Amino acid sequence: MSGFRMDQGGRVDRGARVNFTFDGKPYQGFAGDTLASALLAAGVTLFGRSFKYHRPRGIMGAGVEEPNALISVDRGGGRFTPNLRATQIEIYEGLNAKSQNRWPSLKRDFGAINDRLGRFFPAGFYNKTFMWPRSFWEKLYEPAIRRMAGLGDAPSEVDPDHYDAGYAHCELLIVGAGPAGIDAALEASGSNARVILIDEQDELGGGALADPSLWPWLERSVKALQAAPNITILTRTTAFGYFHDNFIGAVERITDHLAEPGHGPREKLWKIRAAEVILAQGAIERPLVFEGNDVPGVMLASAARVFALRHGVAVGKNVAVMAAHDSGWKDALALAKAGVGIAAIIDVRDAVDAGLVAEAEAKDIPIYLNYSVIGVNGRHHVKSAQICSNDEYLGGRIACDALLMAGGWTPSIHLWSHSKGSIAWSEDWGAFLPDKPNENVRCVGACGGTFSFGKGVNLGQLPTPKDPATIKAFLDFQNDVTAKDIALAVREGYHSVEHIKRYTTNGMATDQGKTSNLNALQLASGFLDRPIEKIGLTTFRPPYTPQSFGAFAGHAKDALFIATRKSPIDSWAGEQGAVYEPVAQWRRARYFPRSGEDMHAAVNRECLAVRNGVGIFDASTLGKIEVVGPDAAEFLNRMYTNPWKQLEPGRCRYGLLLREDGFITDDGVSARLAPDRFHLTTTTGGAARVLNMMEDYLQTEWPDLNVWLTSITEQWAVIALQGPKARDVIAPFVEGIDLSPEAFPHMAVREGMICGVPTRLFRVSFTGELGYEINVPAAYGRAVWEVLWDAGEAHGITPYGTETMHVLRAEKGFIIVGQDTDGTLTPYDAGLAWAVGKKKADFVGKRSLARPDIVAEGRKQLVGLLTDDPNEVLEEGAQIVADPNQPVPMTMLGHVTSSYWSATLGRSIAIAMVAGGQGRMGETLHIPMPGRTIAAKVTAMVFYDAEGVRVNG
Amino acid sequence: MILIHCPYCDEKRPELEFTYAGEAHIARPADPSTLSDEEWERYLFIRANPKGRHNERWRHSFGCGRFFNAVRDTVTDKFETTYKAGEPRK
Ligand SMILES: [Zn+2]
C-alpha cells in the first residue's frame, strides 16, 4: 500500500494518472477516481467546515448521500460551480477544486469559535435572539451570519455554457441502474417497448460496482443492454423529480467530467413521459448518533467499502467499525479480505449472527458485543474511539485511524414520495417503505424493501453514560443539528414532525436529510413517547439533488428568454435609429431621435409635425379580430356597451368592452365591412384576452349564434398616417376609393387598393387630426410604408413612435386601457357614458353598472389635471390629496395616470383618477412630492381642439 | 405535468396546452336585468370552492381552442372525467 492507495483492486486505471488541485495544492489520482477517493488516497481527511459550528468535517459517504464534503469547482472563464459533493466529482486533468465555508483556510478557520460557543447556538437560536431590534438585524446580525454560516459562494460571472433540453417518451422508465434496475431492464430488452434506463453515476452497476464478485455479471449485463435496440441508457443523469402522470424530470451532465468542456451543451434537461416507471434507487446507510460522530475519519461503513473495492483506496490502515446492523460486519469482513486492517468491531447488540462472529474471529478481529462508541479522539482526524459497555458503562479506548458506522439502511423513496405514493413503516428496516402507488410505478430492489442487507436494531442514539444534554452527537451533518436540538424542540412544544424539522432545520439542507431524517425521527419518537408510524415522515420534494439553474433555463435565456414580436416595419424603424420599447410581447419604436436629440426634443418635434403636417406611425401591433357570420352584429351587440346592429357597412365605431363585473377591460375602433363581417381592433396587449373572452361567450353562453372569430393581428400591417397633409400623401397611391371628405368621412372604412396591393383603409384618428390607418397584407407592410415615406418627403413627413402617440392622444383625452384604467373603472368613471347604449336591454357587464357600489357617490373618476406652473410635468403614479397640510397619513384621493409635456399647447397636461373627480371641476388639488407639493387644477380631459373639428379636415 | 383529456380532440395532452376557466355549470342568466342585487352577486362572485370533487371549465387554448368541462379532485389533482360544453353535469 502506498499512502492509502491499495496495491490492487478497484475499478480505477492505475496506468492513467490525473493531476488536479485542491485548495491550490497539487495532487494526483487515477482515471476512475472521484475527488473524494483521490484525496483520501493521498491521506487527506479534512474536506470542509460545518455550516453552523464550523467544525472540521471529512468524508461521510461515497455518493449522493455525502453531507459534509461540499466543494466548489472553478473551471475559469465564469465556469464556477459551488456545493458539489466531493464523492460525485469525477477527477480530470487540471481539475481545480476548493473547500468552502472556511476563512482564512481550511485548517485554521476563524469561524470555528462557533463550536466553542456551541451552547449559545441551540435550535431556534436565530429566531429567538435576532428578532429585535429590527435595525440590528438588517445592519449587524444578518450580514455577520451570512458571512459566518454558509455554503459555497454564488458564481459572480455570467455562465458561458449553454444547456440543452428535450422531451422523451417511453413505455418503461427505470431509475437506478444497480442490480435491481439492470435486471428490470434486461427483462424488458428485446421487446417492442421503448425503455429508458437512468443512472446518476458515470457507469452502470450501482452497489455492484463495490462488489467485485458481481463484476463478471455486470459486464455481461451492460453489454446486453447496450446491444438492445429498444433501450436508451443515460448515465451521469439524475432523475430529480417525479411529477403528475408519470412525468419525470432528469438532468444529464454532459461535460463536467471532461478536461475540456468543448462547445456542446454542459447539461441536458430530459422531460420524460413514461407509461410505466420502475424505481430502483437503492438504499442509503444511516450513520449512528454518538458524541464525536462527525470527526473526520468517522464515516459510513458502506462508503469505506466503496472506496476500497471500487476505487482501491483504504480509508484507514487500522479501521474500527461501530455496528447496529449486520451489514457493518459484512463490510468489515470485505475490507479485511481486501487487506484493510480492522481494529475492532463494536456492536450495540448483545447477540449477532453466529456466522458473522465466527468469520470475524477467524480473522482475529477484536469483537465488542453490547458495546457503544461514546466518544472520538482527534480533531482533524480520528485517533482513537472510546467505547463503553452498555450495561456497566465500563470501557476503554481503541486506537484507530478511521471509524465506520453501520446504523442500518434507509430505502430511497424520494421519487416515490414525489409521485404521492403512500408509505408504511417497516420495523425490520427501521424505515418507511413504499406502500400504495399513486401512479403506474413500482419500486424494486432495496428501495422497494425487497433486498436484504441483514438484521439490525433501530436506535435513536447510542447508549452513553454522559448527560445527553452536554454532548454534540450529530443527526444532520450539513445543517449541524444535534440530538439535543431535537430534545429541545420537543421540550419547547414542537410535537409535529413538520414543526420539529423547521425549528431545528433537520433535513432542510441541500441533502434534504438523506442520512438524517430517520435518525431524527427515531429520537423524536423516543422524546415524544409516540411510535414512529404515528409521527410520520416529512414530505420529500423535488429536486432529489440540487440542480443547476442553467439546466432549468435551457435555451430560454438572453434573446430567447421570451419571444419578441416584431411588426413587418420594425426593421425600417431600426435602420432609422429608432429607440425601441417593449409593449406587451412586442418591440415598438418609441421615438426617432435625430442627431443630438434626447427623447424630450424628439417627441416635441414629432408631435408638432403631426399637428402641423403629417406623421407616419406603425400601428401594426394593434390586436385585430375578424368577426364573421349571420349573427356577427347580434354577437357584438351583446359583447360591447354600445349598439352595433344599426352600424352600416363601411362605417366604424368605437367599442368599449366590459367584464361581467362592469369594469372596462378593453376598447378599440372596429369596422363593419359587410352585413356579416366586422374587422375589430383591440389594444396591443389585450388581443389574446379579448379573443378568449369572446370565444368563451360564443362557445358556452350563446352557442346558438352563428359567428366565427379569427385572430388577424399578424395578417395585416397597419400604417397610421396622421396630420392635415395625410390625404395629400396617400392620394396618388389609392385606387378604387373616393377620398373626398364627403365620400369618405371620419369613422368610415373602404376596401380598395393602395400601391397596387389590397387595403382595408380606415379613416380614423387616435391623434385628433385628419388621419388614416392603412391595413395592408403584412408581407407588403414595409414596401407600402417605404412608398408613402418617399412620397411624403415633399410634405415633410415625419416618423413618430409610441411616446408621441401617447402625448397626442392625451391632448385629446383618449384613454389607454391599462394605463388610465386599472380594472376598477366603469364607463361612467372613465367619462365614457356616451359609449353606453342606454336603450340596450343587455350587454356584458350591464347589470353590474346598477350595483349599489357602482352607482354610489365618491367613486374614483378620470379627470384632466393642469398644474398651476405650466412647466411642471407631474410624475405618473403620483398621489393626489385635497389638503397638503393634513398630517400623515394623508387622505389620498387618487393618482396621476398619464402625464406629458405638450409641445402643441406649450405646457404640461395630465390625466388622473380622482375620487368624485367629475364633481371637482375647477378645484385645486395637491400632489405631494419629496420636499415639495405641486398644485394642479381639475379640468375636463380634452386639452386640445375640444370641438373636434380637426379630424374632419 | 398533468395530462388532460380534451373531449373534442379526444386525446390526452399536457396541461401546458390548457387554461383553467373557473367553475362549470354557472350559466349566465337569460335576462340579468330581472335579477336582484343578491341574485346577481351570487352569479358573479359566489363559487363552491370544494375540497374534493369539482366541476370546472378548461379551455384547450393551444390546441382546438374549445371550452369544455371536467371533474377534478382538488385534493389529489386527478381528473375524473372531461366532457363537452353543454352536456349535463357529471
Ligand atoms: Zn382539443
Q: In this predicted model, what pLDDT tens digit does every residue of A415-434 receive, in sequence order?
A: 999 999 999 999 999 999 99
> What is the pLDDT, as a whole number, of residue A151?
78
Please answer whether residues A609 and A800 qualify as being in contact, where contact means their C-beta atoms are separated by less than 8 angstroms: yes
SS (H, E, C) A693-724: HHHHHHHHHCCCCCCEEEECCCCEEEEEEECC
Class of domain A601-809: alpha beta
Confidence of residue A110 (pLDDT cuts 50, 70, 90): low
Q: Please answer yes or no on whether A696 and B27 come within 8 Å at the CB atom.
A: no
For residue B40, being part of any structural domain is answered with: no
SS (H, E, C) A445-485: HHHHCCCCCCCECCCCCCCCCCCHHHCCEEEECCCCEEHHH
Q: Please answer yes or no on whether A701 and B27 come within 8 Å at the CB atom.
A: yes
For residue B18, being part of any structural domain is answered with: yes
Q: Please answer yes or no on whether B85 and A692 come within 8 Å at the CB atom.
A: no
Mean pLDDT over A454-481 rounds to 90
Amino acid B25 reads H
Tens-digit pLDDT profile for residues A1-20: 556 999 999 999 999 999 99
Looking at every residue in chain A, the average pLDDT score rounds to 94
> What is the pLDDT, as a whole number, of residue A50?
86
Confidence of residue A49 (pLDDT cuts 50, 70, 90): confident
B77: nearest CA partner in chain A: A244
Q: DSSP E strands: which ranges in A4-151?
A: 13-22, 25-31, 48-49, 56-57, 70-76, 79-85, 95-99
Confidence of residue A150 (pLDDT cuts 50, 70, 90): low
> What is the pLDDT, as a whole number, of residue A620?
98
Given a cut of 70, whether residue A46 has pLDDT beyond it is yes
Mean pLDDT over A302-327 rounds to 98
Residues above pLDDT 70, as percent of chain A? 95
Burial class (CB in 10 A: 0-12, 13-18, 19+), A79: middle
Confidence of residue A52 (pLDDT cuts 50, 70, 90): confident
> What is the pLDDT, as a whole number, of residue A113?
65
B64: nearest CA partner in chain A: A695
> What is the pLDDT, as a whole number, of residue A176?
98
Number of domains in chain B: 1
Tens-digit pLDDT profile for residues A660-685: 999 999 999 999 999 999 999 999 99
A842 touches chain B (CB under 8 A): yes
> What is the pLDDT, as a whole number, of residue B75?
93
CA distance A701 to A432: 52
To the nearest 10 degrees (0 to 180), the angle between helices A517-528 and A483-491 is 40
Given a cut of 60, whether residue A148 has pLDDT beyond it is no
Confidence of residue A260 (pLDDT cuts 50, 70, 90): very high
- ipTM score over 0.95, yes or no: yes
Closest-CA distance of chain B to residue A242, Å: 9
Give the residue from A620, A626, A585 showing the smallest Cα distance to A785.
Answer: A620
Given a cut of 80, whether residue A602 has pLDDT beyond it is yes
Mean pLDDT over A105-117 rounds to 68
A725-to-A295, A434, A721, A737 alpha-carbon distances in Å: 87, 79, 9, 18
A247: nearest CA partner in chain B: B1
Quick one: which H or E segment has residue A790? helix A781-792
Task: Say which range, A130-139, A709-718, A740-749, A816-825, has the weakest mean pLDDT.
Answer: A130-139
> What is the pLDDT, as a whole number, of residue A459?
87
Tens-digit pLDDT profile for residues A176-209: 999 999 999 999 998 999 999 999 999 999 999 9
- Between positions 408 and 427 of A, the ones with CB within 8 A of B are 420
CA distance A453 to A418: 25
Higher pLDDT, A511 or A305: A305
Give the residue from A80, A23, A85 showing the smallest Cα distance to A261.
Answer: A80
Mean pLDDT over A125-132 rounds to 52
Confidence of residue A127 (pLDDT cuts 50, 70, 90): low
> What is the pLDDT, as a whole number, of residue A123?
65
> What is the pLDDT, as a whole number, of residue A262?
82
Domain layout of chain A by residue ranges: 13-119, 163-283, 601-809, 857-951
For residue B11, being part of any structural domain is answered with: yes
A435 touches chain B (CB under 8 A): no
Q: Please answer yes or no on whether A841 and B33 come within 8 Å at the CB atom.
A: yes
> What is the pLDDT, as a whole number, of residue A21?
98
Is 3.10.20.440 the CATH number for A13-119? yes
Is 2.40.30.110 the CATH number for A857-951? yes
Which residue numbers in chain B have pLDDT < 70?
Answer: none
User: What is the pairing mode between strands A441-443 and A267-279?
Assistant: parallel
C-alpha cell read off for A512: 434534504
Confidence of residue A100 (pLDDT cuts 50, 70, 90): confident
Higher pLDDT, A103 or A44: A44
- Find the CB nearest B35 among A692, A847, A852: A847
To the nearest 10 degrees (0 to 180), the angle between helices A326-337 and A301-309 is 30
> What is the pLDDT, as a whole number, of residue A122?
60
Is 3.50.50.60 the CATH number for A163-283? yes
- Find the CB nearest A244 among B32, B59, B77: B77
CATH number of the domain where residue B84 is located:
3.30.2270.10
Given a cut of 70, whether residue A897 has pLDDT beyond it is yes
For residue B9, being part of any structural domain is answered with: yes
CA distance A209 to A201: 10
Closest-CA distance of chain B to residue A814, Å: 30
> What is the pLDDT, as a whole number, of residue A146?
52
> What is the pLDDT, as a whole number, of residue A54?
86
- In chain B, the N- to C-terminal Cα span, in Å, equals 24
Q: Which domain holds residue B6?
A: 1-25+49-90
Given a cut of 90, whether residue A79 has pLDDT beyond it is yes
Given a cut of 60, whether residue A652 has pLDDT beyond it is yes
Give chain A positions within 8 Å (CB) of B76: 420, 438
Task: Say which range, A100-114, A576-590, A685-699, has the weakest mean pLDDT.
Answer: A100-114
Mutate to test the interface with A, among B37, B74, B76 (most CBs of A within 10 A): B37
Distance A562 CA to ligand 1 centre (A): 25
